[in-house]
Structures are given as C-alpha cells and as structure tokens.
Structure 1
Amino acid sequence: MESRNESSEISRNKCAACFRQFNKMEHLVEHMRISYHSVHEPMCGICKKHCRSYESLREHVIGPLPKQECKNIFSIRGCKFCLTILDSPNARRVHQERCQLSGGLLASFANLGLRDNLTIDNGYARGRQVVALACKMVGGGSDGSIDLCARVCLIDENENIIFHTYVKPPIPVTNYRYETTGIRPEYLRDATPLRQVQKKIQDFLCNGEPTWKIRPRGGKARILVGHDLDRLQLEYPAVMMRDTAKYPPLMKTSKLSNSLKYLTQAYLGYDIQTGMQDPYEDCVATMRLYIRMRSQNHTIEDYPLAFDPQNRNNFASWRQSELERMSPEEMFAISRSDYYCWCLDS
C-alpha cells in the first residue's frame, strides 16, 4: 500500500512539459523555476514532450536512442526537416517536397555583380523589414589564422541582393584562402575600407533612426539575420539581430553552435559551402532558416518572456508553498521562455 502511494506521488510530481519525474513536489517546483519551459520550445508532435532544442527533438524521434513509440510513427508520418508529424504517409510526401528547399542559386550567381548603393527609406514600410548578411573571411597575421572580412553580401526577405562588395581589411592579408573564398589580391586592392563598409551597413540598418533610440517594435530600423554576426563587428542593438549560431532552438544539445552548413542540410535539405563559397549562398540559407523558425505556430501570450515584469514573480521563493499546491499543468501554464522566439517577429 505504501509503495502504491509513493508511486502515485511520483506520478503527480511529473513535469507537464518534459515529463521528468521527481520524488517530491518541491523538487518539481525547483525544476520549473530553472527550466523556463514554454509553448515556444520544440515539441514532439506525437507524445507532446517539450525539448530545449531541435537537436534534442531530433534525438527523441530519430536516434541514436529514440523513444521507440515516437520513432515508429515518425518514420512513417514525420518530416525529417521541420520535424512536423503529418496525418498520413501521403501527406508527409507532399509536405516534404515543399519543405525540402533546393539551392537554386546558380542563376543568381551569374548576375551577382557588385552593388554598393544602399538606400534608406523615406517613410515607414509595412511591417518590420528583414535583411540577411554574410561575409567571407581571408587570413591575416604571420600564419594567416586571423579572420579578416574581405567580402560582404546583404539580401532582402525575397532573396534579392541589395548590397555586395569586396572589403579592404585594416591589416595586410597573408592568406587569401582562394580555394574556398575565390578572392584574389587584385579584388581587394581598390576595395572599400572595412570601417566605411561597417558605417554604410549600419546606417542602412538603422534606417534613419539613432542607434540609441532603436526599439524592438514600431520603429523603422531593420532586423538583421545572419550566422555568427560578430564577425563584421557592427554596432547594432542585439534586440534587432537574429543569429542562427546563437538561437537556442538551433543549437546543439550541449548548447554549442551548429555550423551553417549543418543547419542548412538538416533543416532546409540541401548542401552549401561545397568548393568555392559565395556569401550570397550563406545569406539565402540564413534567411530561409530565419523564416522557417519565424513561421512556427505557437500559442499567443500577452507576456511571453520570463524577464517581462509581469512574470518575474511567477516562481519566486516566497511563493513556494503556493507553488507546491499547484498541479504540474498549472505550473507549466505560468512558465515562460528565457529566449526571444522568432515567431514573435510575425
């Protein structure tokens, strides 16, 4: 009888999001306090388990040690790119044909050219404008290991090139890395100095607004998408940047960054950065990843972030007794995300 009561208690202390079980309710409360479970987490479409990243969800349904029941259903009705569960094998086939994007970039490369006329809007555009940026690096220093930006490309949400130029690094180049960059010394001889390129891009992104005045919503400043955006060292507010290398749902289970090459193959279904590389290809990949993440259909909440003032006391220590009387579902209902989900840009 006592064993049955203990089993019932452990079952009651089961997290409503990740399904972890705890011996005592106080342990579950502490788990909810630090886990930041929310409707924005990747979720298994079969058992409804919440995961911290898509890598965790991928392991859950594909392997190497998946949940067998979920794996069996996913192998028949699951999309290996967006990890959605479809109604039937036929629906999955139709969906996956659309979900697997092709590169389709060769025609665009032929018309790439150099474009360095960035214009600022005179009025307010409809909705928040989004642009993607990528750069290619050459090597500096005695052994050529210092990354120096030598080429920059900027595209709009429709994958149109709006800026593309070679960049003259501030220190001498000792390794042009031609096999992957395709950059030769003559390309950089009369190129625009790095500081001028940084200023030109920054002004374009701010779109007439002072940097210190830029706000996440309601302004004219543009959202900047990219992978490892620190490389160009732009002075731009972090709240306006969407970095696929630092976005929690796209990171590894160990909270390390995945490469853009891997993310493109795993979530878009095609290969990039094979042979000689072009920044336009990287721009397109990051923009497509951003749009895929932004299009997630999550429940709308008035205050979706844990650090919103209205949520700061949700799991305060002085509420411990009250929290221990809540059900796991009630605690999950007041739990909020600790990162900004890109679906909130929609």
Structure 2
Amino acid sequence: MESSESMRNKCAACFRQFIRMEHLVDHMRTTYHSVHEPTCGVCKKHCRSFESLREHLIGPLPKQECKNLFNIRGCKFCLAILDSPYALRIHQDRCQLSGVNYGIAARLANLGLRDSLTIDNGFSRGPQVVALACKMVGAGSDGSLDLCARVCIIDENENMIYHTYVKPPIPVTNYRYETTGIRPEYLRDATPLRQVQRRIQDFLFNGEPMWKIRSPKGGKARILVGHGLDHDLDRLQVEYPAIMIRDTAKYPPLMKTSKLSNSLKYLTQAYLGYDIQTGIQDPYEDCVATMRLYMRMRNQAHRRENYPLASDPQNRNNFASWRQSELERMSPEEMLATSRSDYYCWCLDSE
C-alpha cells in the first residue's frame, strides 16, 4: 500500500516515486519531462524515446494492463492506442507503409545526372524540406576511408530532384560493390566533388546568408533531413547550420533506450513497416525512408506552447535552485506543467 507521502512525491510524468519532495524537484530539474515525450495511450506514462515506450508496452517486462490493451487496440508502428479493433485495422492500413516504388525516374537516375535543384522564388509558404543520402566507396591502403561517390536529394513528395555520381578527389581502393553497386566506370566521368558541394550548398541555403539563419521559420533556407548527416555533409565538404538539420540518427525519440543511435534499416522496419537496404543499396531509398520518418514525427499532435523549449529565455529559471522552496510546494502535476523539453520536437516545424 503506497503511503500518501510517497504518492505526493510521485512524478506525474514517469511515475517514479521519491522519499522526499526535494528529490522529486531534483528529478524534474534534470529530466525535462514535457508534452513532446512519447506517452503511453493507456496509463499516460511519459517515456524518453519510442523504444522506451515499446518496452513499456510489449517488452520483456511490460506493464501488464497496458500490454493487454495494446495487444487488442495498439498500432505496432506508431505505438498509438485506437478506440476499437476496427479503428486499429483502418489505422494500420495507413500507418504501415509499403516499400519504395522506384519507377522509371529512379531507374534512369542510375544512368547519371538528375538536376532539378532550383532556387526558390520566394512565394512558397513555410520552410521547404528536402532529404539527402550518400553512398560511400573506400580509399586508403585498407579501403576504410569513406569517400562520397553517389548523392541523392528528394523533396517532401518523394520526387528525386538531384542525383549524381561524384568523382572522389583521391583514388578509390574499394568500390564496395556488394552494397553500393558502384563500378569504376560510373566515376570515371562523374561530377567533381567541388562542383557537387557548391551545387548542394547553394541549394540548401537558397540565397540565405549563414549569419542570418537563426530559426527554421521565416527564412528561405531549407530544412535538411537524413540519417547520419554529420558524416554525409563532412564527406561532401558542406557546412550547414545544425538548427536546419533533422537527423533520424540523433533525434531523441528515435534513439535506443541507451541513447545510442538506431540504424535506418531498423527504424524503417519498426516505424514504417517495410524493409530497406537488402542487397545493393540505393540512396533514393534511404532518402524516402528518412523523409517518411521525419513526416511521421512532425505530424504528431502535441499541445501547443508559446515557449516549448527549456532553453527559451522564458523557461530558463523554471527549475532554478533559488526557487527550491517554491517548487517543493507545487504538486507533481504543477511541476510537470512548468517543465519543458530539452530537445527541439519536429512537430514544431508544422506550426
């Protein structure tokens, strides 16, 4: 039987219980619970990531009440709880996506250049979103040094707007054909790396100077989606502001419970419902997968807040140590209402 004191010191988000109220305040100060965390549709428990929520619902030691209901009315892809088994069937027809249908356009891309990158005329509404993926070949004595040999960019509607093979600046010692499908003749007359770099960087900035980019809203620069983008942009020698990057490898709700990255292959299978990267890998397929994951995360319906981040000036003192006495007089629910996220939720891109 829980004591009234332990119930008073129970976190309203993750349900952890503390002996003293000051310990609960310390917990809230460091966890950044918020409306943007994945939340169980049954008991309303907040989880740091969707992997944590999956373990809560169907892991080796799930909460039994939540597991029982999830088995009947839960979507295994987005982890939502539907109103009825019938509603679940209708929902999953939309939630489970099929693999990429390449069609003629994608097959033609293998023949060489596709360049539909255009500078925006300024009449589009909201920031444009594009996804980028690269395929690497190897250099160096053991072939372990990554060189970008193929790059692809798509728009929000999964249209391929850029594709080219890239001529590496140093000799290739391993084409990694089993996964890249790249042969020496594909790179012999390919686009030089410096030319690819300038083309992509100009397109992403869209006429916006680097110093002017302070927010993904209101400017002309494009939001860039991808998986492991730090590595791709480094190999392309492209610099781009972190505030405009949406990386599925580093987005907290899509990471492992250990805070390590999941592979794009796993994320696509678990959250979109189909398989990628079987055999020779195509960067177009990777672009589509990352764009779909981004859209799924962006389209989450979270409560709107005027200042949603803990780093916003209006929220920086919410859990300041000099407010300790005031915080200890709050209820757990009041503290949760005061708390803000420590990461930028992609749902904010849709506001």
Counterparts of 2:93 and 2:108 in 1: how far apart (Å)?
A: 28
For the residue of structure 1 that corresponds to 2:141, the secondary structure is coil
Q: Quick check: 1:267 aligned with 2:244? A: no
For the residue of structure 2 that corresponds to 1:173, the secondary structure is coil
CA contact (8 A) 1:125 1:220 kept: no
For the residue of structure 2 that corresponds to 1:345, the secondary structure is helix
For the residue of structure 2 that corresponds to 1:175, the secondary structure is coil
CA contact (8 A) 2:136 2:180 kept: yes
**Counterpart of 2:45?**
49
Q: Quick check: 1:288 aligned with 2:292? A: yes
CA contact (8 A) 2:97 2:273 kept: yes
Counterparts of 2:100 and 2:120 in 1: how far apart (Å)?
A: 30
What is the deviation of 1:117?
A: 4.6
What is the deviation of 1:125?
A: 1.2
What is the deviation of 1:213?
A: 1.3
In structure 2, list runs of 5 or more residues that go unmatched.
none
Return the letter of the residue paired with 1:275. G
What pairs with 1:1-346 in structure 2 (closer than 5 Å)?
A: 7-107=3-103, 108-112=105-109, 113=111, 114-216=113-215, 217-231=217-231, 232-233=233-234, 234-346=238-350
CA contact (8 A) 2:106 2:160 kept: no
Counterparts of 1:339 and 1:124 in 2: how far apart (Å)?
A: 30
CA contact (8 A) 1:155 1:283 kept: yes
What is the deviation of 1:124?
A: 3.4
Cα shift readout 1:110-133 (whole Å, capped 9, x = no counterpart): 343521352212223111100000
Counterparts of 1:339 and 1:242 in 2: how far apart (Å)?
A: 12
What is the deviation of 1:193?
A: 1.9
Cα shift readout 1:187-224 (whole Å, capped 9, x = no counterpart): 11111222221221010011111122123110111000
Counterparts of 2:101 and 2:175 in 1: how far apart (Å)?
A: 24
In structure 1, list runs of 5 or more residues that go unmatched.
none
Q: Compared with structure 1, are the counterparts of its residues 117 and 89 closer, same or farther at alpha carbon in structure 2 (3 Å cutoff)?
A: closer
TM-score, normalization: structure 2? Answer: 0.95
Query: Which shifted more, 63-72 or 6-15?
Result: 6-15
CA contact (8 A) 2:25 2:327 kept: yes
CA contact (8 A) 1:303 1:311 kept: yes
For the residue of structure 2 that corresponds to 1:338, the secondary structure is coil
Return the letter of the residue paired with 1:94. I
The percentage of aligned residue pairs carrying the same residue is 82
TM-score, normalization: structure 1? Answer: 0.97
Cα shift readout 1:28-73 (whole Å, capped 9, x = no counterpart): 0000000000000000000000000000000000111111110000
Counterparts of 1:121 and 1:39 in 2: how far apart (Å)?
A: 34
For the residue of structure 2 that corresponds to 1:95, the secondary structure is helix
CA contact (8 A) 2:100 2:285 kept: no
Equivalent pairs counted in the alignment come to 342
Return the letter of the residue paired with 1:68. Q
What is the deviation of 1:172?
A: 1.2
What is the deviation of 1:94?
A: 1.2
Q: Compared with structure 1, are the counterparts of its residues 229 and 110 closer, same or farther at alpha carbon in structure 2 (3 Å cutoff)?
A: same
Superposition RMSD on alpha carbons, in Å? 1.2
